[in-house]
């Protein structure tokens, strides 16, 4: 029955006229995305990154699967991949504060530059050892040298790995910082292979220049966009995410066009655009999270569709060997060389070495040689596929176990989610937060009159078992209450001391 249906759909896609042809294409993608969304929870429970499911679904949708979608336009793939990565990096930046970047700036920067070059070189050696040619080895090394923000966010955030904050921050920020280096390294290797001697020297000098321009451009656009968003009154709140999306696009392309790293720029724009007092904040967070997810899902589905399982078999052993050696030797060594001199604890260094999640970036980079029509480019694309799958599957599915085993779990429980959202279209001078009252916090069991809050602070609302409770002096705070309060920003430490951790996404 299913086979008949898919045959019908496949036939329809190639013979039907519009609008049916578009409709058929969209229904296939729509159903694939639906399956991916609905099964992500189950996959997470099994500890398998959702990314993998998407790849398999994509393959099922592809030429040799049920879907029969024929898609091998690499230029289009590059474009789609770039757009997806912009959305993912922007969202990653938006959820990271400048202060958080600062705490792990040096280790992340070292991993993103020296670490990438080292793991590229080591992987190239491994590939050479596996019998590939010099050029192929160099290309593979460069293409798979960076970890992937999409995969990292999907595993660390959606997978509910309660890792120590400093470590998860380092791994996330590394994955956002290191893409530019990998892009430039791949361009460099292609220039070497095509024997553009004059451009090789220039590319080497150019790497730091691109990083500096990208960083400066990204920060400037982020701060400018924040300023505009705070000052300008938009005619409707629905335009706020459109504005931030436009800022992300301008940031990437502006930096790219003036010889900067666009990926670094768009990430930093996200970092500097957000602030606790940003108008429309919780709405923006939500829209960009949705866009980030859609981008991830589309990209991995696309990758799955592009791969021909029959072709994969030809490179299966080589691909597997390189993937495993990258995970077990190249990545850990490169990480150790970067972090140990910074006196990073050995345990944490080993952990970062293990979590070398690959994903979208290598796949986008693998289209570079295809677009340059280099010999063996198809083979490289298929090998990259293996490397991505293995290096997402193993670290991704073991990360929770390894985190617990190595004792690297965070001391604190993850922040609970708010039950009620309060949105402000204008920046407010005071802060507004919601707290879930746990039995252990100081205010549990106290009456509001007992709280002795500063004069600039007050409890506004209590949500108890789905009921809204009016805060009066005699009201007693109970465990499980969601308490909404406003206070002066300077009093935040005192509020967290009394109320515990504030909830996520409640107010902004």
Binding site for other proteins (CB under 8 A): 99, 103, 165, 411-413, 438, 440-447, 450-452, 492-494, 496-498, 500-501
Smallest distance, other proteins to C-beta of residue 495, A: 10
Smallest distance, other proteins to C-beta of residue 415, A: 9
212 vs 497, which CB is nearer to other proteins? 497
Smallest distance, other proteins to C-beta of residue 435, A: 9
Smallest distance, other proteins to C-beta of residue 442, A: 5
17 vs 452, which CB is nearer to other proteins? 452
19 vs 407, which CB is nearer to other proteins? 407
Which token pair is 404? 């617990």
Q: How many CB atoms lie within 10 A of CB 432?
A: 18
Smallest distance, other proteins to C-beta of residue 416, A: 9
The DSSP code sequence of 151-218 is HHHIIIIITT--B-HHHHHHHHHHHHHHHHHHHHHHHHHHHHHTT-HHHHHHHHHHHHHHHHHHHHHH
Four-point Cα dihedral 96, 100, 106, 110, nearest 10 = -30
Smallest distance, other proteins to C-beta of residue 53, A: 33
Smallest distance, other proteins to C-beta of residue 464, A: 18
466 vs 493, which CB is nearer to other proteins? 493
Burial per residue of 373-390, b for 16 or more beta-carbon CB atoms within 10 angstroms, e otherwise: ebeebbbbbbbbbbbbbb
35 vs 444, which CB is nearer to other proteins? 444
Smallest distance, other proteins to C-beta of residue 349, A: 17
Q: How far apart are CA 391 and CA 320, in angstroms?
A: 10
19 vs 493, which CB is nearer to other proteins? 493
In DSSP terms, which residues pair with 69 in a beta bridge? Answer: 62
3-state secondary structure of 53: helix
Nearest to 217, CA basis, from 273, 271, 266: 266
107 vs 292, which CB is nearer to other proteins? 107
27 vs 497, which CB is nearer to other proteins? 497
311 vs 438, which CB is nearer to other proteins? 438
Q: How far apart are CA 71 and CA 14, in angstroms?
A: 12
Q: How far apart are CA 366 and CA 72, in angstroms?
A: 13
- Tell how many helices (H) and how many strands (E) occur in the chain: 21, 4
3-state secondary structure of 275: coil
Q: What distance lies between CA 398 and its chain's CA centroid? A: 19
Four-point Cα dihedral 280, 282, 284, 285, nearest 10 = 160
User: CA gyration radius for the chain?
Assistant: 25
Smallest distance, other proteins to C-beta of residue 130, A: 43
Q: How far apart are CA 463 and CA 508, in angstroms?
A: 18
Smallest distance, other proteins to C-beta of residue 47, A: 23
201 vs 445, which CB is nearer to other proteins? 445
């Amino acid at each position: 029955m299913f086979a008949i249906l898919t045959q019908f759909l496949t036939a329809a896609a190639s013979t039907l006229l519009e609008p049916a042809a578009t409709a058929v294409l969209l229904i296939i993608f729509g159903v694939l995305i639906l399956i991916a969304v609905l099964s992500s929870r189950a996959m997470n429970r099994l500890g398998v990154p959702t990314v993998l499911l998407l790849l398999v679904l994509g393959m099922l949708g592809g030429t040799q699967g049920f879907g029969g979608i024929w898609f091998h336009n690499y230029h289009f793939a590059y474009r789609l991949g770039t757009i997806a990565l912009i959305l993912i990096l922007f969202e990653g930046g938006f959820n990271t504060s400048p202060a958080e970047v600062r705490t792990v700036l040096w280790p992340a920067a070292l991993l993103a530059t020296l670490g990438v070059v080292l793991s590229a070189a080591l992987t190239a050696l491994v590939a050479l050892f596996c019998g590939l040619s010099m050029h192929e080895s160099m290309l593979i090394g460069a293409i798979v040298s960076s970890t992937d923000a999409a995969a990292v966010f999907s595993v660390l955030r959606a997978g509910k790995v309660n890792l120590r904050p400093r470590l998860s921050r380092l791994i996330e920020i590394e994955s956002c910082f290191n893409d530019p280096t990998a892009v430039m390294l791949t361009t460099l290797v292609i220039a070497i292979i095509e024997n553009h001697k004059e451009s090789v020297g220039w590319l080497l000098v150019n790497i730091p220049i691109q990083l500096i321009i990208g960083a400066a451009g990204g920060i400037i656009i982020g701060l400018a966009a924040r300023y505009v968003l705070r000052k300008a009154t938009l005619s409707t709140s629905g335009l706020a995410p459109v504005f931030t999306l436009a800022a992300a696009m301008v940031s990437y392309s502006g930096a790219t066009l003036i010889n900067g790293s666009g990926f670094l720029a768009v990430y930093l724009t996200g970092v500097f655009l957000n602030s606790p007092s940003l108008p429309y904040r919780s709405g923006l967070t939500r829209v960009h999270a949705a866009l980030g997810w859609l981008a991830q899902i589309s990209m991995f589905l696309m990758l799955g569709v592009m791969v021909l399982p029959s072709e994969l078999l030809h490179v299966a052993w080589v691909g597997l060997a390189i993937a495993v050696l990258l995970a077990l030797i190249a990545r850990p060594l490169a990480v150790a060389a970067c972090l140990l001199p910074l006196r990073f604890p050995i345990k944490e260094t080993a952990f970062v070495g293990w979590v070398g999640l690959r994903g979208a970036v290598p796949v986008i980079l693998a289209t570079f040689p295809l677009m340059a029509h280099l010999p063996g480019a198809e083979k490289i694309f298929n090998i990259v596929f293996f490397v991505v799958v293995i290096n997402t599957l193993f670290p991704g599915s073991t990360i929770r176990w390894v985190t617990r085993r190595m004792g690297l779990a965070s001391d604190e429980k993850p922040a609970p989610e708010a039950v009620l959202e309060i949105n402000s279209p204008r920046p407010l001078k005071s802060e507004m937060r919601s707290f879930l009252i746990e039995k252990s916090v100081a205010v549990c069991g106290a009456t509001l009159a007992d709280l002795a809050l500063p004069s600039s602070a007050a409890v506004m609302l209590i949500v108890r078992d789905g009921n809204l409770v009016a805060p009066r002096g005699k009201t007693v705070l109970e465990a499980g209450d969601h308490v909404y309060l406003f206070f002066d920003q300077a009093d935040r430490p005192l509020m967290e001391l009394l109320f515990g951790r504030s909830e996520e996404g409640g107010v902004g």
